[in-house]
Structure 1
Amino acid sequence: MDDAARARDAAREALADVEPEQLRETLETRIVDAAVTPGVLALVTARALDPDIDPSEVVERAAGVQLIYEGLRLTRSVAHAEPWVTAATEESDIEADMDVLTADVLVSRGFSLLACTDAAAAAVEVVRSFGRDQTLRDETDPAAATALDRNLEIDALELAVVAGTTAVGGDPPEELLAYARELAADYDGEFPPSGRALPDATADRIADISDRAVSATDR
């Protein structure tokens, strides 16, 4: 099984007990159609740092990162569309309410998967940062608003690196976080389909950064 499938399946499994059925089906549809770059990066990071790690030890963290990102991404979309202002029918209002509920469940389930890990504090900061950015964007010009929106993708990949690194018992060096930001910048605010989640050289780059950080510490 490849990393995209692992991350997607783990995210769906985390939602398997959600009721009612209509909500669960809506959640699963979001995950099936989602780009899973954040979840994949968590898995790739852990394996790059420890090639012998069992994927099952990391996959829940990857799912947590993925669910938080997807929930916040949906929240961003709803906030920008302002559906309660533009909705023409009662059905449109209901769809908007369902989107908000879906986003809330995705984020809360993501938190539950990371709550007892060393990535918990980073996950909290992602949500806080998202809230600040979305508040500020309403008070700024379009170019600045776009930059604020893109912070979510940056924060999601930083969280993925934290989740993957702490899974093998360490904290990411600043250069590794900078690499996560570099990856996010390449995507221009939208992650690619799962088949092209990350560059082929990502694992080698992460391993090289980690090796150099360890060497610098040992001097």
Structure 2
Amino acid sequence: MKEASHVRSAAREAVRDIDPEPFNEVVTTALETGSMAPGVLVVLSARALDSSIAIETVAERAAGTQLIYEGLRLTRRLAAEDPWESDGSDDANVAVLAADALVARGFYLLARTEAAGSAVETVRNFGRDRTCDRDERRLEADVFRLAAVAGTTVVDGHPSASYREFVADLADEGVTELPTAAELFDTATRDALSRRASAPFESADAGMRTSATDS
């Protein structure tokens, strides 16, 4: 899937200047094997409203969304595995720093976009969910909602409630890891994205989970 390749390249480019080189390799490794579905959804959300938009126009937002997801996903894995119990090296500590760097760079890329508020809410929700030991799949649902905002707003649109919940449901289809973008976004799903993307206007920051009491 060419969108996935473009997103991965944009994400790599976004972290290229992180030093020192050994640490950069740790950061970049997180981008090599994971699903590019969050970033691809940014592209598809933009194209659902404007099919002619060039991927270069939305690549930075796609990379920002992908980096936030990769950083939070790495944090979740470290919390679940608790590598400090079995590993006497500094690898786990370096991985924590890499996760922070990924999220921070993702924030930087989205900071001046309409998706900035949604990015903040995504990270806040993740922190609450980890504290309360809630369903781990909520991260993917929130990141997909973020992707919907990041993509539609690049063409002066806004994701409807129907669109946001549709993409959140897509995130729940995976078991422990997101499927590849090609598997997740088949022709039928792309058509469904286009249909829902044209629903009435809503605030770009609407539709995110904000209550600590959500179940």
TM-score above 0.5, yes or no: yes
Say if 1:49 and 1:206, in contact at 8 Å, map to a contact too. no
Is structure 2 residue 123 aligned with structure 1 residue 127?
A: yes
Is structure 2 residue 104 aligned with structure 1 residue 108?
A: yes
Structure 2 unaligned blocks of 5 or more: 202-215
Say if 1:48 and 1:206, in contact at 8 Å, map to a contact too. yes
Between 42-51 and 119-128, report the one with greater CA deviation: 42-51
Is structure 2 residue 142 aligned with structure 1 residue 155?
A: yes
* Counterpart in the other structure of 2:45: 45
2:125 maps to amino acid: S
Is structure 2 residue 187 aligned with structure 1 residue 188?
A: no
- Structure 1: distance between partners of 2:190 and 2:87: 48
* Counterpart in the other structure of 2:113: 117
Identify which of 191, 209, 215 aligns with 2:196.
209
Q: Which runs of structure 2 are paired with 1:1-219 in the superposition (5 Å)?
A: 2-84=2-84, 86-89=85-88, 91=89, 94-137=90-133, 145=134, 147=135, 149-213=136-200
| Alignment size in residue pairs | 201
Structure in which a larger fraction of residues adopt helix = 1
Give aligned-pair identity as a percent. Answer: 45
Say if 2:160 and 2:199, in contact at 8 Å, map to a contact too. no
1:7 maps to amino acid: V
Q: Say if 1:176 and 1:195 are closer, same or farther in 2 by CA, change over 3 A.
A: closer
Deviation at 1:40, TM superposition (A): 0.6
Deviation at 1:171, TM superposition (A): 1.4
- Structure 2: distance between partners of 1:88 and 1:28: 22
Deviation at 1:8, TM superposition (A): 0.3
TM-score, normalised to structure 2, is: 0.89
- Structure 1: distance between partners of 2:199 and 2:106: 32
Q: Say if 1:205 and 1:195 are closer, same or farther in 2 by CA, change over 3 A.
A: closer
Query: Bigger radius of gyration, 1 or 2?
Result: 1
TM-score, normalised to structure 1, is: 0.87
- Structure 2: distance between partners of 1:43 and 1:192: 17
Moved over 4 A (4+): none
- Structure 1: distance between partners of 2:87 and 2:39: 36
- Structure 1: distance between partners of 2:181 and 2:157: 27
1:87 maps to amino acid: S
